Amino acid sequence: MVEKYTPPYPLLTGTVSKELRDGLVVIDQATGKVDPTRLFLYCRRLIDQRNYEHKPEAVEACVREYNDTGRVVYVMDDATLFVPTYNLAANAIRKGQPAFLYEFEYDGIGAAWNRPPMSTPENSPRHSQELMYLFGQAAGTLTEKDRRIQYLFSEIFANFINHGNPNGIETHGFEPLSESWMNFFKADFPPNSSDTSHFVGNTPNYHRRAVEFWNERMPQ
């Protein structure tokens, strides 16, 4: 399916780091641990949606991989967002097209997003919140830092639309995807720093564990 829809021209694609976090429902709030029954049912529902020949083995592999409170939160995001996004970009470069992969990771959104639930570093950036910095969608009270992100993040898309390349005057170092490096452009400011002049930029290992599990180790 990915191969069918890979465009015959340069590609810019990406995700936000905390997307939907739908797997939270698998964690028992009373104990703070993964509920084995919920995990099995969740994995079975997820695998049932996919055209796998070896479904029992796939469910078992899913349960083993995501029997962890940190991992299980992203089980749906891995399968339906992170891995397909990577595969789209990887398939483009295999066809000789430049592909640029990003992840929006800025977690200080706070009051800049005016829709519930309240944005905290624990739950943001979540699905579609980056659109506020591109189009003003659900924009609340923006700080100077928010406006700086708005400028830098918008420049990536403006450059790509105009030139087929996201690099520009202030957003540079955005390298095309390398399958060995699995690199992506991290749209966030350097950690533990007041520097807002640039994003972190080129970073290795875009969701490597998830990509390798769903593409290579998952029985299909």
Instruction: Give which of 46, 123, 34 is closest to 80, Cα–Cα.
Output: 46
Task: Give residue 86's pLDDT band: very low, low, confident or very high (50, 70, 90).
Answer: very high
What digits encode the pLDDT tens for the residues 118-173? 889 899 999 999 999 999 888 889 999 999 999 999 999 999 999 999 999 898 89
For 75, left (φ over 0), alpha (ψ -120 to 50), or beta? alpha
Torsion sign (Cα): 43, 45, 46, 48: positive
Task: Give residue 51's pLDDT band: very low, low, confident or very high (50, 70, 90).
Answer: confident
- Give the angle 13-104-3 at the CA atoms, nearest 5°: 20
pLDDT of residue 3: 57
> In the block, which residue shows the tokens 């590609």?
11
Contact in structure between 140 and 64 (CB atoms under 8 Å): no
CATH topology of domain 7-217: Rossmann fold (3.40.50)
Task: Give residue 6's pLDDT band: very low, low, confident or very high (50, 70, 90).
Answer: low
- Give the angle 146-148-149 at the CA atoms, nearest 5°: 65
In percent, the amount of the chain with pLDDT more than 70 equals 97
Give strand pairing partners of 57: none
Domain positions in the chain are 7-217
E strands present in 26-159: 27-28, 33-34, 99-104
Whether pLDDT at 64 is above 60: yes
Q: For the residues 45-74, what does the mean pLDDT come to?
A: 96
Whether pLDDT at 192 is above 90: no
Task: Give residue 9's pLDDT band: very low, low, confident or very high (50, 70, 90).
Answer: confident
Task: Give residue 1's pLDDT band: very low, low, confident or very high (50, 70, 90).
Answer: low
Give strand pairing partners of 186: 103, 201
Whether pLDDT at 61 is above 60: yes
As a whole number of angstroms, the distance between CA 195 and CA 153 comes to 16
Contact in structure between 206 and 101 (CB atoms under 8 Å): yes
pLDDT of residue 117: 81
Whether pLDDT at 38 is above 60: yes
Contact in structure between 134 and 154 (CB atoms under 8 Å): yes
pLDDT of residue 208: 98
Mean pLDDT estimate for the chain? 94
User: In this structure, are strands 184-187 and 99-104 parallel, antiparallel, or unpaired?
Assistant: parallel
pLDDT of residue 116: 85
